Amino acid sequence: MRTYDFSPLYRSAVGFDRLARQLESAARSSQDNGWPPYNIETTGENAYRIEIAVAGFSPDELNIEAKENSLTVTGKKAANDDASVQKTYLHRGLAERDFERRFQLADYVVVKGADLSNGLLTIDLQRELPEALKPRRIEIATGKMIEDKSGKADKAA
């Protein structure tokens, strides 16, 4: 297992501490057990989709929480305490264990919706830039007369 030291980044870069924390978080999360499996895809210029395989989980056993730039998906399997139905497994390959999966979201990425179908939890995301950050066209004025404080009209150069 390889570990990375990001302390030089903290010493020499001002204002990039959030980026360094994200790199550390990514390094840690890449060492998890990989369960449940998931896909991340782009569905448009500013649209994304996360699909997580959650076979055997019902909607009330799943929780999706978006907080700041983090998306957390948790699954808590309800205890099967029905003593009247006792199962004897010859092979048990379906995992029925709790999980927590975290995703770091870029600035202005918001969750638009979630759907559970055929054992896949689908979470749709959209990047929504505020109007102040969107590119805008600036009109260029030409040949306007500008009046200075003395009351004289000057032609703008």
What does the pLDDT average to over 46-71? 93
| Structure letter (DSSP) for residue 8 | H
What does the pLDDT average to over 112-125? 96
> 101 pairs with which residues across the strands?
73
With a pLDDT cut of 70, the percent of the chain lying above it is 66
Cα torsion 100, 104, 107, 113 to 10°: value is -40
Q: How far apart are CA 37 and CA 99, in angstroms?
A: 11
Helix (H) or strand (E) holding 18: helix 17-29
Q: For residue 157, what pLDDT band results from cuts at 50, 70 and 90?
A: very low
Question: What local confidence, expressed as pLDDT, does residue 87 receive?
Answer: 80
Helix (H) or strand (E) holding 11: helix 7-12
Q: What are the structural domains of the chain?
A: 1-31 (no CATH), 35-80+88-131 (2.60.40.790)
Question: What local confidence, expressed as pLDDT, does residue 147 receive?
Answer: 64
N-to-C CA span, the chain? 65
